[in-house]
A and B are shown apart, each in its own frame.
Chain A
Amino acid sequence: MPAKKDVRAKLKLKQIKARKRLGEKHPHALKLLADKGVDLGKIREHSSKLIGAGTLASALLLSAPASDGKLPPTHKITGELKAQWEGLSESPQKILVTALEALPEKTRALTREEEKVLEQVIESTTGVRARASLEGEHLNTTYGLIGIEQHLRRYPGDTIGQHGGGWVLRQGMAPGLGAWGYFAPTKSELTPDLVETEKWYAVVQTLYLPDWGKRQPYLRDWYKYRKVMIVNTENGNAVVAAIADAGPAAWTGKHFGGSPEVMNYLGGPRYTKGPVLLFFVDDPDNKVPLGPVEYGKINLEDVSLIEA
């Protein structure tokens, strides 16, 4: 294994060489991009800014092919849901899965209108107030691929053997700490709530937020242990999780991560990657528990469908 400093230096050298080679072979390309204000190395930031400015929303609508189209209008979905709900012909989870069939097969940016539809559908079927935007914050994506993560060290000296037993230990412990460090300074200060937080944790790409670097420490604090609702769009299994790490790297082809427990509930012990919706949970009174969303426990009296 090479020394750690060597890895960094060699990677940087490769980066410089790749830039130089592209510049030498296709100088017009870098010039054209530069003229348009695009630094290839910061193209993700550029992409985020375009979306943030709202300029891509309409482009998405126009460019989406028919097979990859938008969700049906809100009134259509809510109308269908109402009909099924009133007849109680299907379980809430089945109703949700049916509604999610309208999502494009390949994950992509959802429009605000689509997100609003989904907020209603999720709240109507699960009873959880799931929101794509909360207190003005919005993730770069709400429909993406989730991948399995390793356990996080909760306090100095924490070991994998203290994270339960059986299949949940298979992924092992992440070598470093989560983005917010240890959950507690010592084992004795690890509360049951923090145990649950690590058990049901989610990973989101805060590092790619366009304003992440500019709005510190506010954003760091806002995202720490923020509750999110994760819905497996293929089977409707849903989990409420707490954000406890940042990632995954964009070049893994994934957009979110889930603890071994989260992933097991979403798709079973062999589930390591798949499409999900990930929305914030609007829970100012901290009443929504972390963990699996039990559809059977929805209070139907409290659930209403409101047409947008």
Chain B
Amino acid sequence: MSRIFYDELLVLDNLAIKLRGVVESREEMEELWAVIDDLVHHRVLEAILDELPREHHEEFLSILADKPHDEQNLVYLSRKIEGVEDKILGVVSELEKELLEELLG
């Protein structure tokens, strides 16, 4: 399955609606979905690694590579980063705002 452990925190509905109105074709829409997905993963991982103590980076990245879907990853992170879910939500919300204002506003 294509789920990633933080998927439930990615609720970019407004972006999806706006994006549908500016694309020319189905192919372009799916291409942009992939670009946004890529953007989300990089921003979220950056935020996680910024907060996660350096000594845990290798362990976490190994877990991520082996079980990217596993919700236990969030449990693991919550033991090491206070309010990790809120931090991810914040990054995602900021990204949506940025994209809506700068690209689709």
Q: Which of B36, B41, B49 has the most CB of A within 10 A?
A: B41
Give the distance in Å from the alpha carbon of A10 to the alpha carbon of B98 in the complex. 12
The chain B residue with its CB closest to the CB of A52 is B1
Give, as a whole number of angstroms, the nearest-CB distance from B75 to chain A. 8
**Quick check: B22 and A1 within 8 Å, CB to CB?**
yes
Give the distance in Å from the alpha carbon of A22 to the alpha carbon of B49 in the complex. 9
**Quick check: A63 and B72 within 8 Å, CB to CB?**
yes
**Quick check: B58 and A2 within 8 Å, CB to CB?**
no
**Quick check: A141 and B11 within 8 Å, CB to CB?**
no
Interface residues of B in 17-72 (CB under 8 A from A): 19-26, 28-43, 45-46, 49-50, 57-58, 61-62, 64-72
**Quick check: B50 and A109 within 8 Å, CB to CB?**
no
Q: Which of B11, B12, B71 has the most CB of A within 10 A?
A: B71
Which one of A14, A56, A250 contacts B37 once the chains associate, using CB atoms below 8 Å?
Answer: A250
Contacts A18-B46, A33-B64, A56-B69 given; does A141 touch B103 at CB 8 Å:
no
Chain B positions within 8 Å of A50 at CB level: 67-69
The chain A residue with its CB closest to the CB of B92 is A251
Give, as a whole number of angstroms, the nearest-CB distance from B76 to chain A. 11
**Quick check: A2 and B103 within 8 Å, CB to CB?**
yes
Contacts A26-B57, A32-B61 given; does A249 touch B42 at CB 8 Å:
no
Give, as a whole number of angstroms, the nearest-CB distance from B88 to chain A. 12
Interface size on A, residues (CB 8 A): 63
Give the distance in Å from the alpha carbon of A90 to the alpha carbon of B82 in the complex. 47
Which of the candidate stretches A35-43, A157-165, A189-197 sits at the interface with the other chain?
Answer: A35-43
B80-91 to A contact mask, C-beta < 8 Å, 1/0: 000000000000
**Quick check: B26 and A47 within 8 Å, CB to CB?**
no
**Quick check: A176 and B22 within 8 Å, CB to CB?**
no
- Is A91 at the interface (CB under 8 A from chain B)? no
Give the distance in Å from the alpha carbon of A29 to the alpha carbon of B50 in the complex. 11
Q: How many A-B residue pairs have CB under 8 A?
A: 184
Chain B positions within 8 Å of A264 at CB level: none
Give, as a whole number of angstroms, the nearest-CB distance from B62 to chain A. 7
Give, as a whole number of angstroms, the nearest-CB distance from A212 to chain B. 10
Chain A positions within 8 Å of B15 at CB level: 251
- Is A248 at the interface (CB under 8 A from chain B)? yes
The chain A residue with its CB closest to the CB of B8 is A253
Q: Which of A12, A14, A141 has the most CB of B within 10 A?
A: A14
* Given pairs A41-B37, A176-B26, 18 additional interface contacts (CB within 8 A): A4-B24, A7-B104, A10-B102, A21-B42, A32-B62, A46-B65, A46-B68, A47-B3, A50-B67, A56-B69, A140-B2, A140-B3, A249-B33, A250-B37, A251-B10, A251-B36, A252-B11, A253-B12
30 CB contacts below 8 A, A to B, read A1-B22, A1-B104, A2-B104, A15-B38, A18-B38, A25-B46, A25-B49, A26-B46, A41-B41, A44-B2, A44-B68, A45-B2, A47-B1, A47-B68, A50-B69, A51-B1, A63-B67, A65-B72, A68-B71, A147-B13, A175-B20, A176-B26, A179-B26, A246-B26, A247-B33, A250-B2, A250-B7, A251-B40, A252-B16, A253-B11
A residues near B (Cβ < 8 Å) are: 1-2, 4, 6-8, 10-12, 14-15, 18-19, 21-22, 25-26, 28-29, 32-33, 36-38, 40-41, 43-48, 50-51, 56, 59-60, 63, 65, 68, 106, 108-109, 140-141, 147, 174-177, 179, 205, 207-208, 246-253, 255
